[in-house]
Each structure stands twice: as C-alpha cells, then as structure tokens.
Amino acid sequence: MTKIRKLTALTKAGIIESLQFRLGTAVMLFGNLIYLALVYFLWKAVYESSGVSVVNGMTFYDTMIYLILATAIFNFLEMFIVWDMSRAIQSGEIIMHLLKPMRYRVYTFWSYTGAHVNNFFLAFVPTFIVVSVITKGAIPIGMNLLYFVVSLILALVVNFNIEMLVAPICLYTESTWGINIVKETIVLLLSGATIPLAFFPEGLRQVVEYLPFRAVYDIPLTVLLAKNGTDTPAGLLAGLGIQLLWCVVLSVCGNLFWKHAVKKITVNGG
Amino acid sequence: MEMKTGRKRGLSFYLSIYRKILIQDLKSKMSFRADFIISTFGMILTNVSGFITFMILFHNFPSVNGWDYHHMLFLYGFSLIALTPVQCFFDNNWNLRFMVRSGDFIKYCFRPINVFFYFISEVFDVKGLGQFAFGLGTFIYAWAHIGIPVTVVTVAEAVLFLITASLFMIALMNFAAATCFWIINSGYVMVIMFRFKDFAKYPASIFNSVFRFIFTFIIPIAFVAYYPSLVFVTPDHVPLLSWLSPPIGVLFFFLSYKFWMLGVRKYDFTGS
Amino acid sequence: MGREVVVMKNISKQFKVLNRHEGLKGSIQDLFSRDYRIVRAVDDVSLTVNKGEIIGYLGPNGAGKSTTIKIMTGVLEPTSGEIFVNGRVPYKDRTANAENIGVVFGQRSQLWWNLPLIESFNLLRDIYLVPEQEYRDMLELYRSLVDLEPILHKPVRQMSLGQRTLSDILAAFLHNPGIVFLDEPTIGLDVSMKAKIRELIRGLNEAKETTVILTTHDMGDVDALCRRIIIIDKGRKIYDNDIGHLKSYFGSYRTLRMRLGDDSWVEQVIDEKETDVMHVMQEMQKEHRIKDIQLQEISTEEVIRKIYEGDESA
C-alpha cells in the first residue's frame, strides 16, 4: 500500500467514524446558536450605545460576520488531541501507537483529518452560506475564497502544532483539564476569536501581533473578508507568510518536545 | 440486640456530616498537588480572560444598554459569586450519568441518609474557590465605585440575594443531570445547560422580548445575576421579579430536587 | 428457632424494560417511546430467614439473585407479594430499614475513596448514630478478629483488593445491623485472603449473632460458612434446605477420577445407581491407559451444577 493510499484510508475511516457522531454535531451546532445569539444581542447593544456605526474600522455587521465565522472555524479546528492523548497515556494504549509503523505525530494528524473534512462540509460550509445569504453578500466572493482555503489549512497546521506542544505537558503534570482550559482560554482570547483583534487597545495589539495565535483565527478571517490589506498581494502574502513561519517554528519546537516526551513515556513503561 | 427505631435526622445532623466529609476530602485533594494548582490556575485564568474581554469591550464602547462599566462589573462579579456554589458543591452531578449507567449508583441507596445529599456531598470542587475570590473582588470593587451604601440592611440583602441567586444555576444543573435517568445522551444536555451560564453576566435588557421571556421563565438564567442585581443598582426602580427572586429560587431548587429524586425512584423501579 | 429476620411471601418482580436507542433521533424517541418488553426477574419466591443464620444465596447469573437482594434492602419495590425485614416493610421505609442492614458489593466499595479507613469508620459512626461506647467495643472486636493496624490509616484507594474487601465488610458490620448482605465478597481474591475473609465473617456472625445472606459463586465460601442454601434460577426458588441435605440430594453421585498414562487426571461425575464404574473405566481404557483411580464424594459445586442442569431440563 502506497503512502497516499494509507493516508486516504485513514481519512476515510475518520470520516465514517465522525458521521456516527451525528448527535454530537447537532449539539455542537445548537451550542453555537446559543453562543451566537448572545453575541448578536451583546454587540447590538454596545453598538447602539456608542451612537456610531463604525468602531475601529468595523461595523456591527463586520463584527457579527467575523464572530460567526470564528465559531465555524473553531468547530472545524476542534481536536481532542489533548484529551485523547492523555487517555491513551493513562491506559497504556499509547505504547501500541508507538509500535505502529507510522510516526505517531503524522499518524495523529491524519487520523483527525477525517473529522475535519467532515466538519468542513457539515458545519463550516453551511454556516458560510447562511451568513452570506443573510448579510446579502457581505462576504466578498472571489479569489479570496481560494486564498482563504489555503490560509485555513495553514491555520489547521498551526493549531495542530499548538495542541501537540501542549499535550505532553499533561504527561508531565498529570493534569488534563487544567492544561486544556489554560490553552483554550489563551488561544481563544489572543487569536481574535472572542473579540476581533481590531478592538484590542494599542499596547495589547502590539504584543498579540508577535504571538502565533492570530495565525489560527485572525489571519484566515481577514483573508476571507479581504480586510486589513489582505486584498492586496503584498498584504496577502504577508499574512500567509506569517502563518507559514509559525507552522515551521512550532513544528520544530513540537518535534523536539515530543521526542523528549516519548523518551519519558518509554522509560515509564506507559 | 434491640431493634433500632427509625430516627429522624435533622438539618444539624446533615450539616455536621457534610462538614466532616468536606474536611477529609479537602485534606486528601491537596495531595494531588500539581493537578490542584494547575486547575486552580486554569480557573483563575478563565476568569481573568473574561475580565480582559470585558475591559476590551469597554475600551471601545461606553455602555451596554445603559449599563456603564462599573454597573456591568457589578453584574459580572455578582454572577461569578452566584455561580460558585454550583461549581463547588454540586460538581458530582457531572458524574451522575456514569454511575447510573454502570450501576454503581445503587450504593447511595443503602445508607439511612438522603440519597441526593449523599451523592452531592461526595465531591467538592476546590478550584471553584478561585472563581469565588475573583468574583468577590470584582463585586466589592464595583460596589464601592457605584457608591452603594454599606449598611446592615444592604449587606444582609446582598448575602440573601447572592445565595438565592445561586439556587437557580444549581437547579438548572440538577434538572440537566437528572435527565440521565431517562435518556442516554444526557451529557450533552448538561454541556448545553452549562453554556447558558455565560448569559448570566449580561443584563437581560439587551435581549429582545422572546429571549427575555425564555431567560426569565423557561431557563431562568436572568435570575442568576440580572434581577437580583437591580435591587442594588437601581434601588429606585426595582421590578417585582427582583424582589420575588428569593422565593422563586427556593421553589425552583425544590422542584429540581424533586425531579432528581423522581429519577432515583425510577432507577430503582427499573433496576437498570 | 429464634426470631424471623426476613420473611418473603410470594414475591414477584416484573420490569418494564425500555428498548433504548442511540443517537439524536433515538434520544427523542425514547422520551415518547412505548416500546417496552416485560422481564420477569423474580417469580413467586417465598422464604424465611432466622436470626443468626448464614445463608448461601446461589444461582446462575441473571437468575434474579440481585433483584431479590435489592427488594430485601428496600431499594426495589416488588410487583406483588409481601416482604418483612426486621418486622418492617423495607421499600416503604428505606431509611429506617437501612439503619438495620449492612451491604457489601464484591467490587464496588462503599467507603470514601480518598479517606483513611478510620475516617470512614468515624463518618459511618456519625451517619448511623452509633453510641460512642458501642463504637469503641466494635473496633476492639475487629482488632481481635483481624490485624487492623496496617489498614486503619490507609486511604481505601491505596488498598489492595483483599484489604478493600476486608474494610468493606468491617464497615458493613460497624453499626451492628441485624442482617448483612454480602454480594460475592471473595471474588478475585487469592486463597489465603479468601480464608481470612471467611474467618472474619464467621467470627462476626458468632460474636454479634448477625444474620448473613451471602451471594456467591464460590463453593469454598458455601462450604466454609453456610449451613443453609437457597438456590434461585430463572426467578424461582428451586432449592431451600441445609447443606447436608444437599449432598444427600445426589447421594449416589460420585466423582470418578482416573489417572491416565501421561499422568494427567480426568474427572467424570457418575451416578452409581445408574452407571457401573467398571463400565466407564473400560470405555476409557479403549483409548488410554489408566494408572490409578479415585472415587470421591461429589463436590458441592458439582451438586449445584446438577441442580442447575436439572432445572434447565425441567
């Protein structure tokens, strides 16, 4: 079996498994609706109180679209790597994975891809269509869609690397929930997923520019909405370039950290 | 050996038992040091992040529906305090569905004490205290800045309303957890119900009438902070619902307790 | 002789079991479903247990043993029939009944997982409102029966299975209940631990005249502890008598053990009334050499198995 076939098979298996979680998907969507309802009313109220329609370059519509799509991306990116890995470590299952011929990190990435493909079509695309229709085409339809897909894939890789960096920490500290919540809180806040980065006060904004988290949400979203200079080739390449940079940096760090963790696992016998 | 007659166990009995269980449980939890510290840190970080979100919002906008920064902060602090009891004392509800499924739940039925109490008392979640500290700090800070007078009356009111406000979230989680006696995927019900708590930190006035109705009479999350807060924030225009929130809270909690126990009876009946 | 501790008259229990479904549609369906099937778990069982008896409560899995135990402990309400435990109707007054019983599950500990054993004991003392002197006397009794020191200050989660079982049994007797239900107490334990547990149960039964209902699949437990056996199968009581009578039930049965040419032993249960030992040996010799034979009393286990089989074909 060639490598490509192996990977395709994995992806297919992941899709089938994912489809069985229909209830989970329905719940996820419902949970999103709740969250978005809150977002809608909250931002409507604050915009009304400010008296102006554009704040920091964003109108109410801009903000809504941004946050709705951020939620869609969140669902798309959601991986239970940290949970699954710590469970596998605790049960000793991880030894079996390490024995398999494929490298664990690569294997993990591709085994989740099935869920992602599934997610993309079941969650993201419908959301996108709905938002497009409701806002009567506020999302530009053009080449930016293609760039967006590229950016999204890069965001996926960056996110994956963040997860793989965090997961072994659970191994060292024997704490799962705490680590996971810390990671999630930080990522969601500093990536522009909870509040668009456009609203961040200057000082904070500067700091956030240098962190990898905006590569996960802010960059793909601004590419999609063709904002922030990404409608120019220079701006676009800058954005994608930053993502690529973080992919590489985090991947290298992650690999080193992972090798160290594997040593610890094998020493402890799982 | 003489026959022991059925003796009544009152409030003082349950309080003293709970205190003893709590002390022992805390002592042993401390031994899981790394997890304890990290979880507490994680909890505090979540609260800090919420706070930062708050501040960023107010950096850009002057008010939310007439509620300015300090009033919103009051609401925020109030909700955090009111959400602490469900986090700390009623955390075992999250384990209910597993114990019912596996049959382990039956062990709670063999002792001569109330099954709900016995089950709930098993777990105390220490990291909720971080939330309490944060909430209390925010609450006091906002209280001072709004200039609410500090008298015996206002402090007593604060304690009363905070306690009864917490009953609402406790009741909601009781309802959600107890569904495990009837349906398989109750975990999802709990997760969704838990997400509603995020609505508590915002004034219900931002919603349209439909949602306001839902959050007042169906999933009464507005009673967790909004209605009780009005007693302090707008003391001249306090709606009736705000004054009624304590008795409604007690009633709602009682209903959720009854529902929970109904599930236990059903569990016994089918023995599943 | 003695007072009747448990009286069951024509107890039956039927369950309506919902056929549950998975998935989103399934959960919603379940809420409105009328798709039940009726399971008859206990079918017209009557029995009486006297004070101080140790009863072996046997039966294949799914026979209805745990259901009857749940009825006796007040956790389950029977569909029909009468039941009295210590003169009280257990399901009508669960709390009052609970004060006078002790329960132990084989695998699921009822102690507080993180607490040292002594703290669990203290909590139980408070829950059951045990007077301080009685409590101290009980601990003294425990010290005389088992080596308490090594486990008294250990949290249950750090204990071995044997220690945990020991602790659970001690906890069940702590408030001096009139009757204790032990469900598979020696399961998963090694031989020496099983012996210790059996000694403990016997010691407590003798010291406190506590009635014990022992559910088990281990015939060693039965042989060591029980003078009377009740067998339940398919929800019905198929045997209720003392253990001596059990052996004579199948008095003519023997276990024939033959040592073959390769030094392995082969066993066969035969009814001496029906089968000729010589004949069996001759059949065996057609294929193997026989070096040695033993004719043994049939074991309790074999008797029970025969009773199950008899019930199967009945």
Q: Where are the domains of chain B?
A: 11-270
Residue C152's CB: how many other CB atoms inside 10 A? 17
Write down the ipTM of this complex. 0.81
Residue C223 lies in a domain: yes
CATH at residue C88: 3.40.50.300
Q: Do B207 and A41 touch (CB under 8 A)?
A: yes
**A207 and chain B: CB distance < 8 Å anywhere?**
no
- Confirm or reject contact between A35 and chain B (CB < 8 A): yes
Residue whose structure tokens are 């029939």: C81
Residues of A with CB below 8 A from C23's CB? 22-23
Average pLDDT over every residue of C147-168: 91
Query: CB atoms < 10 A from the CB of C310, how many?
Result: 14
Q: Do B110 and C114 count as a contact with CB atoms less than 8 A apart?
A: no
Q: Is residue C314 in some structural domain?
A: no
For B48-60, the DSSP string reads HHHHHHHHHHHHH
Name the residue among C118, C110, C116 with its Cα closest to residue C165.
C110
- Amino acid A175: pLDDT: 65
Q: Which of C123, A175, C128, C108 is closest to B121 using CA atoms?
A: C123
Collect all residues of chain C within an 8 Å Cβ-Cβ radius of residue A22. Answer: 23-24
Local structure of residue B2 (DSSP, 8 states):
P
List, edge to edge, every strand of the sheet that includes C80-85.
Answer: C36-50, C4-18, C80-85
**Chains sharing 3 or more CB pairs under 8 A with chain C:** A, B
Size of interface B-C (CB pairs under 8 A): 95
Hey, which residues does C18 pair with through a beta bridge?
C36
C34 pLDDT tier (thresholds 50, 70, 90): low
How far is Cα A31 from Cα B187, in angstroms, rounded to an integer?
13
Q: Which domain holds residue C167?
A: 4-247
Residue whose C-alpha is closest to residue B264's, from B96, B124, B121, B112: B96
Residue B64 β-bridge partners: B67
CB C249 within 8 A of CB C303: yes
- Chain C, 15 to 74: residues with Cβ < 8 Å from chain A are 22-24, 27
A169-178, B181-190, C201-210, C217-226: the lowest-pLDDT one: A169-178
Do the chains contact at A179 and B57, CB–CB below 8 Å?
A: no
Write out chain A residues lying below 8 Å of B65, CB-based: 45, 48-49
C22-61: burial string, b at 16+ Cβ within 10 Å, e else? ebbeebeebeeeeeeeebebbbebebebebbbbbbbbbbe
The reply to whether residue A182 touches residue B61, judged by beta carbons under 8 angstroms, is: no
Provide the pLDDT for residue A115. Answer: 67
CB atoms within 10 A of CB A238: 15
Strands C80-85 and A54-55: unpaired
Residue to mutate among C22, C24, C25, C28, with most A CBs inside 10 A, is: C24
Q: A42, B144, B102, B110: which is closest to C100 by C-alpha?
A: B110
**Predicted pLDDT of residue A270:** 43
B152-178 and B93-102 helices, crossing angle to 10°? 20
Tens-place pLDDT, residues A46-83: 888 887 888 777 888 888 888 888 888 887 777 555 55
Residue of A nearest to B54 (CA): A195
Q: Are residues C109 and C10 in the same domain?
A: yes
What is the chain A residue with the closest CA to C23? Answer: A23
Is the CB of residue C273 less than 8 Å from the CB of residue C252?
yes
Greatest Cα-to-Cα distance within chain B, rounded to the nearest angstrom? 76
Beta carbons of B191 and A38 less than 8 Å apart: no
Q: How far lies A80's CA from each of A17, A119, C7, in Å?
A: 14, 14, 55
Beta bridge partner(s), residue A59? A54
Three-state secondary structure along chain A?
Answer: CCHHHHHHHHHHHHHHHHHCCHHHHHHHHHHHHHHHHHHHHHHHHHHHHHCCCEECCEEHHHHHHHHHHHHHHHHHHCCCHHHHHHHHHHHCHHHHHHHCCCCHHHHHHHHHHHHHHHHHHHHHHHHHHHHHHHCCCCCCCCHHHHHHHHHHHHHHHHHHHHHHHHHHHHHHHCCCHHHHHHHHHHHHHHCCCCCCHHHCCHHHHHHHHCCHHHHCCHHHHHHHCCCCCCCCHHHHHHHHHHHHHHHHHHHHHHHHHHHHHHHHHHHHCC
Interface test with A, best of B32, B40, B41, B45 (most A CBs within 10 A): B45
Residue C258 phi, psi dihedral angles, 5° rounding: -125, 130
Taking contacts as CB-CB distances below 8 angstroms, the residues of chain B near A182 are: 38, 41-42, 45
* Residue C147: other Cβ atoms inside 10 A: 11
DSSP lists the bridge partners of residue C106 as: none
Q: Is residue C120 scored above 80 in pLDDT?
A: yes
Phi/psi of residue C265, nearest 5 degrees? -105, 140
| The pLDDT of residue C145 is above 70 | yes
- Give me the percent of chain C exceeding a pLDDT of 90: 34
In chain B, the residue whose alpha carbon lies closest to the alpha carbon of A35 is B195
> What are the distances in angstroms from CA A176 to CA A57, A172, A195, B26?
39, 10, 26, 20
C137 vs B35, higher pLDDT: C137
Q: What is the mean pLDDT of residues C90-110?
A: 87
CA distance A168 to A268: 14
Comparing CB atoms, the residue among B38, B61, B64 nearest residue A178 is B38
C40 and C160 belong to one structural domain: yes
**Domain membership flag for residue C306:** no
Q: Can you give the residue ranges of every domain in chain A? A: 3-268
State how far residue B95 is from chain A, nearest Cα, in angstroms.
15
Taking an 8 Å cut-off on Cβ atoms, the answer to whether A22 and C23 are in contact is yes
Neighbours of B200 (CB within 10 A): 24
Q: What is the pLDDT of residue A174?
A: 64
What b/e string do you get for C259-294 counting C-beta neighbours within 10 Å, with b at 16 or more? bbeeeeeeeebbeeeebeeeeeeeebeeeeeeeeee
Q: How many CA atoms lie within 13 A of A156 on its CB side?
A: 21
Q: Residues of B numbered 54-73 whose beta carbons fall under 8 angstroms of chain A's beta carbons: which are they? A: 56-57, 59-66
Q: How far is B181 from chain C (nearest CA, A)?
A: 11
The answer on pLDDT for C111 being more than 70 is: yes
Residue of B nearest to C105 (CA): B107
Least CA distance to A25: which residue of chain C?
Answer: C24
Judged by a CB distance cut-off of 8 A, whether residue A213 touches chain B is no
CA quadruple A216, A219, A222, A224: dihedral sign: negative
Coil/strand/helix, residue C15: strand
Based on the structure, what is the number of domains in chain C? Answer: 2
Closest CA to B78 of B258, B266, B250, B245: B245
| Tokens representing residue A212 in the block | 């990898």
In this prediction, residue C33 carries a pLDDT of 64
Question: Please, is C66 exposed, middle or buried when counting C-beta atoms within 10 Å of its C-beta (0-12, 13-18, 19+)?
Answer: buried
- C220 and C205 inside one domain: yes
User: Is residue C161 situated within a structural domain?
Assistant: yes
- Band the pLDDT of C66: cuts 50, 70, 90: confident
Which chain A residue's Cα is nearest to C28?
A: A23
What pLDDT, on the 0 to 100 scale, is given for residue B114?
92
- A50-54, B17-21, C76-80, C123-127: least confidently modelled range: A50-54
Task: Count Cβ atoms within 10 A of the Cβ of residue A99 and give its class: 0-12 exposed, 13-18 middle, 19 or more buried.
Answer: exposed
Residues 1-30 of A with CB under 8 A from C: 22-23, 26
User: Chains near B, with 3+ CB pairs < 8 A?
Assistant: A, C
Which pLDDT score is estimated for A128?
78
Walking along chain B (272 residues) 10 residues at a time, the average pLDDT comes out as 56 88 76 75 87 87 86 94 95 92 87 93 87 93 92 93 95 94 84 88 89 91 93 89 93 96 80 46
Residues lower than pLDDT 70 in chain A: 1-2, 12-25, 79-108, 110-111, 113-115, 118-119, 122, 137-138, 171-176, 228-231, 264-270
